[in-house]
Amino acid sequence: MYYIFIVNGRPDKHFILEDVQRQIDEIGGLDYEIYLTRGVGDGTRFVKIYCDLHPNAKVCFVSCGGSGTMNEVASGMVGATDKRLAIMAYGETNDFLKCFPDRDFTSLRKILEGDVHPVDVMKVNDSYALNVVNIGFDAVVASIAYRHVEAGRAKNAYRWGVFGAIFTGRNNRIKVIADGERLNRRRMLLCTVANGRVCGGEFICAPRAEIDDGWMEVCLAKRMLLLSFLRLLKVYRDGRHLEHPFASRKFRYKRAKHVEVISHDLVNIALDGELYASRTFQIDILPKEIQLILPSLITMKKRFEPIIDKCGAIIDYLMSSPDIPQDESLQFKIRLSIEEAVENVVRYAYEGGMGWIEVGTELDPDGVMLTILLKDAGVPFNPLAKPDPDVTLSAEDREIGGLGIFLCKQLMDHIEYKYEDGCNILIMSKKVA
């Protein structure tokens, strides 16, 4: 198999190329090339031209970036044969991958060990989407969020989009017809046409969606008063809007294979977060169009939210991993390191402890190196930047703080810190065999 890595070429995303190259070098012997995208739509053009010129070549295109890069690569692959799609995810923006919470899309090694799974694609006029098509309020949210990201304010961009759209995107003159059935009259709040389940990083807009069943999940929210909307916002975020007694009266839900969207005015809709403008949209499902490589399973991975008063639970979860060795001496060192790292996040990452932390463990294929991952969206802080304390000084003469991370450095074989897409990422590794 020949691998072509399509890497987001934006100047502020240079770390993606560095990490991809590092993982390729660590594996060694891979038959590959790397292509850096040069602007919006360039990934689709490159993949489409390559598929046209090499119709019978067995190729795996590896999307390296967020939802936009994934959408471009997949769009270029539609209609091609003997082609596979793999995704190396960077950042918090790839909602489609939340359909596979037990798979590791950050490890090239696990991707190469993965299996092929056909997935559906939605065709929207002459464009494509793997995850969700957002119409109305959600598209306005995406438009505002996109402007925040472009201005360098990626953190909480979607939430800022929600706040702005409350005042400008709740009254949309858009008609939606699903398999011949009109779902609304003249106006609506929002509509999602979904193959995946999550949009905006946290809103479970289509809780019943399956990515390979040949159906789209159409969910339309009726126009409503601001107080009703605010009352339902958390219900919608948690994916309970189809069963909630009050919310279910405000939504129309239907499974469909063809959807028409008709607007009196020129409007934006969002395809996997990318904006497209028109007055009419024809949306069709293309069953099992893309051959997606699902990486091998993550041993353990879990998000805790909120993290206040959960320090002990987080530590116990990590120590319960089957990756943790049975040797008591190693367990003692690993637990101390985990305690120091977790307590550092719980105490200082968020004011009031109302944020989240994602933790996980991984054991390499040889069973030699244990990796412990901690990820949070709190205040940017590199614990490794602080100089090691002078332990030869007395307690009274030493500078306050820094002993915890110093202890981790002594107990673990390697510690790495990264700040990517608004998140602190701490990776600790320990040789266990």
Ordered per-residue pLDDT tens for the chain, 433 residues: 999 999 998 888 889 999 999 999 989 999 999 999 998 899 999 999 999 999 999 999 999 998 889 999 999 999 999 999 999 998 656 889 988 877 889 889 889 988 899 999 999 999 999 999 999 887 887 778 777 766 776 666 767 777 777 777 777 889 999 999 999 987 888 899 999 999 877 789 999 999 999 999 999 999 888 888 888 888 988 899 998 888 888 999 999 999 999 998 888 898 987 889 999 999 999 999 999 999 876 666 788 888 888 899 999 999 988 889 989 999 999 999 999 999 989 888 887 667 899 998 988 777 888 999 999 989 888 888 877 665 454 444 444 445 678 888 889 999 999 888 788 999 999 999 8
CATH 1.10.3720.10 fits 132-289, yes or no: no
What CATH superfamily classification does 2-117 receive? Probable inorganic polyphosphate/atp-NAD kinase; domain 1 (3.40.50.10330)
Contacts of 87 (CB under 8 A, 6+ apart): 62, 63, 70, 94, 97, 105, 111, 292
Which among 229, 27, 45, 214 has a CA at the least distance from the CA of 118? 214
Domain with CATH 2.60.200.40 in the chain: 132-289
Contacts of 331 (CB under 8 A, 6+ apart): 319, 324, 325
Domain with CATH 3.30.565.10 in the chain: 301-431
Q: CA 131, 137, 143 angle in degrees (round to 5)?
A: 75
User: Could you tell me which CATH number the domain at 301-431 has?
Assistant: 3.30.565.10
Domain with CATH 3.40.50.10330 in the chain: 2-117
How far apart are alpha carbons 154 and 131 in whole angstroms? 21
